[in-house]
Amino acid sequence: MKRFAKYIFTAFAAVALMSSCEQDNPDTSISVITLDKVDKTPFDYWLEANYVNPYNIQFKYRFELNESDVNYFTIPAKYDDAVILAHLVKYLCIDTYDEVAGIDFTRAYFPKMFFLIGEWEYRNNGTYILGTAEGGKKILLAGTNYLKGYMTSAANLNHYYIKTIHHEFTHILNQTLSYPSDFREISDADYIADEWNNNTSGYLTRGFITAYAQHSDREDFAEMLSEYITNSAETWNTWITNAGDAASIINAKLDIVRTYMKQAFNIDIDKLRATILRRQDEVMAGRVDLTTVEVK
Amino acid sequence: MKRNNFISILAVLTLSALTLTSCLKDEKEVFDESPSTRLQQTLEKTKTILESQANGWVMYVYPKDPSTESMLMGYIYTVKFQDSKVTARSQRDNAGQKEETSYYKLTNDEGPVLSFDTGNSILHYWSTPGASSSQYQGRGGDYEFNILEATNDHVTLIGKRYRCIAELVPLQKEASEYIADCLAATVAQDSYFGITCGDVKGLAEFYVTSTYQVLWIGYNETSVGEDGAEAVEEKEIMVPFVYLPDRIRLYEPIELGGQKFQELVVDPVNMTVNVLDGQGVSFGHPHSYLSADQIEGNYTLTYNKKSADDNEDVRTIDVSLERIVDGEGNVTGFKMNGLNENWAPVLSYDDWWGELDLRIQNLGRVTTNQNGYVRLCFADLSYFNWTLTSNTWPYSSTTNFRYNVSGTYYNNCYYTCTWDEKDAAKPTIGINYCGYTYSSRLYNSWYLNCYSTATGTTNRYALDLTSGWGFNIPGTGKPAAAGEEGAETESSVVLPYPYSITKK
């Protein structure tokens, strides 16, 4: 009992000591975190209406050190070019998936952030990076200031900007629902990781649709889909013909891609291709206003 | 029991430790506002300051070599901030006549930051990378700056990547006019900053060169060691600078002979450069400097027309050096008249160094054939070990030049040319100049090719004009300081070779 009393005393003493402290009540009406007060541009309002509100997608066209990769030397994107690129991404990618798979699909899976820079990310060996994707969420689009120069053909637009988005989007879909391991087994022995860069010819006859597809099964899958949907049937068939004996390899992989897209997301890749090509043609024919920042 | 005592003591100690630390009563706020609020206030204040200048600001930046991180040069932008946009010009883009507008922002990702965050080819010139291995890092400039200080008449920034100070000073006039003034001053001041020596109180002499807006100062510093022996140490200072309309401003103050200074101003009357914010420092032209006025005039060209059996045959020709002035009134070179009525070689004039310079040039054209140029050539046969082959080209009766083109290819030396002149009263003379392309100075000698119309043969004779840069002008050989010991006073200079060009 005596022992118990001692404990009680100790406890009371402690409570007494604690309560002797003055209360420091923070003023909750003032936030200690202040946000940048950067004035909005007309383009910001357009993005709000076309990206943020309908899709919760951030389209960062102004340079931010924290979004950039400091291992590379680059410059900010030009405003006018960023406006055009935002329209292109919207019209050729977002709207396409809305049309083919429904807006809920786009909202659920399409990358939530784009970050634009003006130049490519140059390495010291003369090669450069067109774009990257991070964690299924963010897509870096480089070389924005060259956009007008590549608007001359759909092939260029795809090569430098748009195909990158479809490619990275494929990764996101794969991360959401993985594709069957049968895919990997088809070319398993021929994946060469970074060595692809030294084997940039003859890839078709080895059963790959692009040189980069030789990197790994993940890249192969993304290349298969993004190349298929951004190129015409004629172009694709020419590649298949040029692949010779390896055509069966590509076709086998395409079958898996086709089935996967249908079963996992109910997307018919031929319909997707037709939609993309139609929209591409409309852009090329100048029927799409790519410069307006007017909010309707 | 003992064990329980121990536990209770431990409990008391623990509790009191907890309660004590929870109660530091001397904790005081140093500032009234929270850090983030103060940061925000700084940004708002800076924005007001930046946008308050009607003409904008002149901005001094100092790009660095991305590999070596040494500063490349000083460079001027003008920046006008308005409605979250910045309108920029530079000393480079169409000489300040081109302007480009983009957005800027004041942000706080690394303390208060000024960021030119949308594309602007003028402001991003020094940051733009390229595919080549020398260019992939850009040109060493920043477009994001930490704000160090912002007042109504001065803003100091430091580049985020390269850590070079950039300064903003309010513009008192239109940006385009201001840059025009700076560029005009660049031309006017260049000749004075090409100076190669000067004096600082306490230092005997120092050497200064300036290229691409970097001032290089070399001097000897004498110190006395413990044993009383004097030791001389070579020192150098390299500092980039910007040209302002009336002065140059160095990247940072430098100390020379106990004097500290950052700004220099030209005194065109005395041909000196004076220090604005330090006393007792002056810069002057080198002893060997020759002004255009000193060079222009009549000369006698003496040469040795050696005969075939190597006998001396010294002859003279009257020549004159006539200045060539460009549209802005600068002397760019001199024409040497009198050698031949059909052509006159041009000696370019370097007003940084006060030196003449003779380069490969076309003197005229005798046919429309692409090789039909009469060309003043560089070819020191002894040095470059030429082999001569003969290759006679069509004779042109209208100009009555006879010439041939020969020689093997070396650097920029494509031809040696010989030609003669119709008027037999004048010596038939062709000039091959020898030198090498990497040095713009005279290398060794001129060759006179004398063609004999009687025999149809050509003899080459060396005409050596070397002595410094080849020309000695009596009385002005050392013009730097009047009455200075060692200044040339003779009326003529004897060259080690019997060939000279002498001012009359």
Q: Is A2 on the interface with B (CB under 8 A)?
A: no
d(CA A166, CA B423): 81
Candidates B31, B50, B19, B198; CA nearest to B112 is B50
Contact flag A118-B84 (C-beta cutoff 8 Å) = no
Longest C-alpha distance within chain B, in Å? 137
Within 10 A of B391 (CB to CB), how many other CB atoms are there?
11
Question: A7 to chain B: which residues are within 8 Å by CB?
Answer: 8, 11
pTM, full prediction: 0.67
Q: How far is B248 from chain A (nearest CA, A)?
A: 30
Which residue in this structure is represented by tokens 């005081």? B28
d(CA A2, CA B5): 11
Q: How far is B221 from chain A (nearest CA, A)?
A: 41
Report the residue of A24, A35, A41, A63 to disrupt the B interface, i.e. the one with the largest count of B CBs within 10 Å.
A63
Give residue A176's pLDDT: 87
| Three-class secondary structure of residue B254 per DSSP | strand
What are the residue boundaries of the structural domains of chain A, listed by start?
A: 42-284
**Two tokens, residue B108:** 């706080």
Q: How far is B239 from chain A (nearest CA, A)?
A: 25
**Which residues 138-177 in chain A show a CB within 8 A of chain B?**
144-145
- Bridging pattern class, strands B416-418 and B105-107: unpaired
Give residue B39's pLDDT: 87
Give residue B118's pLDDT: 97
Q: In sequence order, which residues have a C-beta less than 8 Å from that of residue B417 and are 6 or more positions away?
A: B374, B375, B376, B377, B403, B404, B405, B430, B432, B449
Question: A64 to chain B: which residues are within 8 Å by CB?
Answer: 109, 117
Q: How far is A198 from chain B (nearest CA, A)?
A: 18
Share in percent of chain B as helix, strand, coil (round to 5): 15, 40, 45
d(CA B230, CA B221): 10
Strand partners, B236: B218
Contact flag B135-A122 (C-beta cutoff 8 Å) = yes
d(CA B264, CA B275): 5
d(CA A268, CA A191): 28
Contact flag A144-B107 (C-beta cutoff 8 Å) = no
d(CA B414, CA A258): 67
How many inter-chain contacts (A to B, CB under 8 Å) are there? 134
pLDDT tens string A206-249 = 999 999 999 999 999 999 999 999 999 999 999 999 999 999 99
- Bridging pattern class, strands B197-200 and B165-170: unpaired
Side chain identity at B385, as an amino acid letter? N
- Give the up-direction half-sphere exposure of residue B51: CA atoms within 13 A in the CB hemisphere: 14
Q: Which residues of chain A register pLDDT less than 50?
A: none
Give residue B255's pLDDT: 80
Question: B117 to chain A: which residues are within 8 Å by CB?
Answer: 62-64, 76
d(CA B282, CA B266): 10
ipTM: 0.84
Contact flag B103-A63 (C-beta cutoff 8 Å) = no
Contact flag A119-B129 (C-beta cutoff 8 Å) = yes
**Two tokens, residue A168:** 């990275």
Q: Is A187 exposed, middle or buried (0-12, 13-18, 19+ CB in 10 A)?
A: buried
Tens-digit pLDDT profile for chain B (504 aa)?
456 677 777 676 666 665 555 555 566 777 878 788 888 889 999 999 999 999 999 999 999 998 888 888 899 999 999 999 999 999 988 878 899 999 999 998 778 999 999 999 999 999 999 888 788 999 999 999 999 999 999 999 999 999 999 999 999 999 999 999 888 877 666 655 554 455 554 444 555 555 577 877 777 777 788 888 888 787 778 888 888 888 888 899 888 767 788 887 766 665 566 676 655 555 555 444 567 777 777 766 655 444 444 555 555 667 778 999 988 778 888 887 876 555 677 777 766 556 665 555 555 544 444 444 444 543 332 222 222 222 222 222 122 122 222 332 222 222 333 333 333 333 333 333 322 222 222 223 344 333 344 444 444 433 333 322 222 222 333 222 223 333 232 222 222 222 334 455
d(CA A120, CA A146): 9
**Which residues 36-95 in chain A show a CB within 8 A of chain B?**
36-39, 41, 61-66, 72-79, 81-82
d(CA B218, CA B149): 33
- Bridging pattern class, strands B297-304 and B281-284: unpaired
Q: How far apart, in Å, are the Cα atoms of B162 and each of B68, B127, B139, B145, B261?
A: 11, 11, 11, 10, 24
Q: In sequence order, which residues have a C-beta less than 8 Å from that of residue A39 and are 6 or more positions away?
A: B83, B84
Q: Is A14 on the interface with B (CB under 8 A)?
A: yes
Q: Is A124 on the interface with B (CB under 8 A)?
A: yes
User: For domain A42-284, is the CATH number 3.40.390.70?
Assistant: yes
pLDDT tens string A269-292 = 999 999 999 999 999 999 999 999
Which residue in this structure is represented by tokens 């200690």? A32
Nearest CA in chain B to A10: B12
Contact flag B110-A65 (C-beta cutoff 8 Å) = yes
d(CA A65, CA A154): 31
**Two tokens, residue B57:** 């600001």
Q: Which residue of B83, B119, B135 is in closest CB contact with A145?
A: B119
Report the residue of B82, B117, B161 to disrupt the A interface, i.e. the one with the largest count of A CBs within 10 Å.
B117
Contact flag B118-A125 (C-beta cutoff 8 Å) = no
Q: In sequence order, which residues have a C-beta less than 8 Å from that of residue A90 and are 6 or more positions away?
A: A50, A51
Contact flag A14-B19 (C-beta cutoff 8 Å) = yes
Q: Is A4 on the interface with B (CB under 8 A)?
A: no
Q: How far is CA A184 from the centre of its chain?
A: 23
Q: Is A295 on the interface with B (CB under 8 A)?
A: no
Alpha helices in A89-214 (DSSP H): 95-101, 103-109, 147-150, 154-157, 163-176, 182-187
Strand partners, B501: B301
Question: B35 to chain A: which residues are within 8 Å by CB?
Answer: 32
Candidates B290, B314, B320, B319; CA nearest to B302 is B314
| Three-class secondary structure of residue B159 per DSSP | strand
Q: How far is A169 from chain B (nearest CA, A)?
A: 26
8 Å CB contact between B500 and B491: no
Within 10 A of B370 (CB to CB), how many other CB atoms are there?
7
Contact flag B124-A75 (C-beta cutoff 8 Å) = yes
d(CA B322, CA B364): 18
8 Å CB contact between A105 and A61: no
